[in-house]
């Protein structure tokens, strides 16, 4: 059975790239273009990992992470912030909001999979 990864990202190019890399490496992907859809998908599908953009149109990634952490169905899912926020303190702010890890955009396609796989509780079969 494939590990499911939920991607919450509003940029089409980033969504395409993340989806391509994950599916090429044997993962099933779920996609949400906004926070509310992402939260609903996470509750319904219970993915093994969530990739979360911080800059989203309806609610920001910090708010989404906090809501996911406050729900019993989703509070244990690793959340990786994938963001262009790279100033001093931004990484700490994502961790304080409930994210498990942090990857800066633009991502490096050569290292992306190894960066996220270390957060997966069970590697793909």
Confidence at residue 123, expressed as pLDDT on a 0 to 100 scale? 58
The pLDDT tens digits along the chain (125 residues) read 689 999 999 999 999 999 999 999 999 999 999 999 999 999 999 999 999 999 998 899 999 999 999 999 999 999 999 988 666 778 889 999 999 999 999 999 999 999 999 998 665 44
Confidence at residue 125, expressed as pLDDT on a 0 to 100 scale? 46
Q: Span 4-117: which CATH code?
A: 3.40.50.2300
3-state secondary structure of 13: helix
Work out the widest C-alpha separation in the chain, in whole angstroms.
Answer: 39
pTM to 2 decimal places: 0.93
Rounded distance, CA 115 to CA 10, Å? Answer: 21
Instruction: Break the chain into its structural domains and give their ranges.
Output: 4-117
Confidence at residue 86, expressed as pLDDT on a 0 to 100 scale? 66
Confidence at residue 89, expressed as pLDDT on a 0 to 100 scale? 78
- Candidates 58, 2, 56, 53; CA nearest to 25 is 2
């Amino acid at each position: 059975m494939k590990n499911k990864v939920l991607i919450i990202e509003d940029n089409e190019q980033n969504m395409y790239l993340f989806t391509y890399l994950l599916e090429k490496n044997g993962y099933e992907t779920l996609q949400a273009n906004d926070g509310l859809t992402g939260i609903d998908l996470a509750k319904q599908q219970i993915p093994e990992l969530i990739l979360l953009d911080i800059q989203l149109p309806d609610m920001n990634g910090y708010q989404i992470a906090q809501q996911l952490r406050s729900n019993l169905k989703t509070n244990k899912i690793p959340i990786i912030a994938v963001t262009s926020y790279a100033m001093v303190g931004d990484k700490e702010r994502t961790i304080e909001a409930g994210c498990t890890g942090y990857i800066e955009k633009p991502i490096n396609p050569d290292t992306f999979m190894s960066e996220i796989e270390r957060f997966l509780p069970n590697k793909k079969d």
